[in-house]
Amino acid sequence: MLGFMKSYENQTYALMRIMAGFLFLWHGTSKYFSFPRVSPAEGFVLIVGGGIELVGGLLIMIGLFTSPAAFIASGHMAAAYWISHGTNDFFPILNQGELAALFCFVFLYISSKGDGVWSIGGQLKRA
């Protein structure tokens, strides 16, 4: 019974990659375009952070240059955690850094696994 999803491993990975990239993308759009809400970012956080979130999120979502994009996004989230959250309290639930920590490790996993199915990179490799 424990392996009932084993035959769907590739598809569930693709869904995780697509959704993680999709959710990350919106952090970048809020910084650059104030959509869907205004993000209070400016300077370095706006230019570098917003760019990594916007471009990295899109590349991860569509599965193109997935490994390097996810590796950069993982490092970005690790830095964001320690700069914005980790100095406030040790526990992520108290410093409100759960999302940054989760994104960091999800992107680290994605960087090791690569494009997968339902990806532009996978389609290009097959062509």
Q: Which helix (H) or strand (E) holds 96?
A: none
Q: How far is CA 110 from CA 20, 89, 122, in A?
A: 9, 28, 14
Q: Would you place residue 42 in the very low, low, confident or very high pLDDT band (cuts 50, 70, 90)?
A: confident
Hey, what are 15's tokens?
A: 């869904």
At 60-96, the pLDDT tens digits run 999 999 999 999 999 999 999 999 999 999 999 999 9
Q: Is the pLDDT of residue 40 over 80?
A: no
pTM of the model: 0.93
Instruction: Give phi and psi for 85, each to the nearest 5.
Output: -125, -45
| DSSP SS3 for 127 | coil
Q: Is the pLDDT of residue 106 over 90?
A: yes
Q: Is the pLDDT of residue 1 over 70?
A: no
Q: Is the pLDDT of residue 44 over 90?
A: no
Hey, what are 92's tokens?
A: 């992520």
What 8-state DSSP symbol labels residue 4? Answer: T
Q: Tell me the residue type at 16.
A: M
Task: Write down the domain spans for the chain.
Answer: 13-126
On the question of a cis peptide bond just before residue 40, with omega within 30 degrees of 0, the verdict is no
Q: Is the pLDDT of residue 41 over 80?
A: no
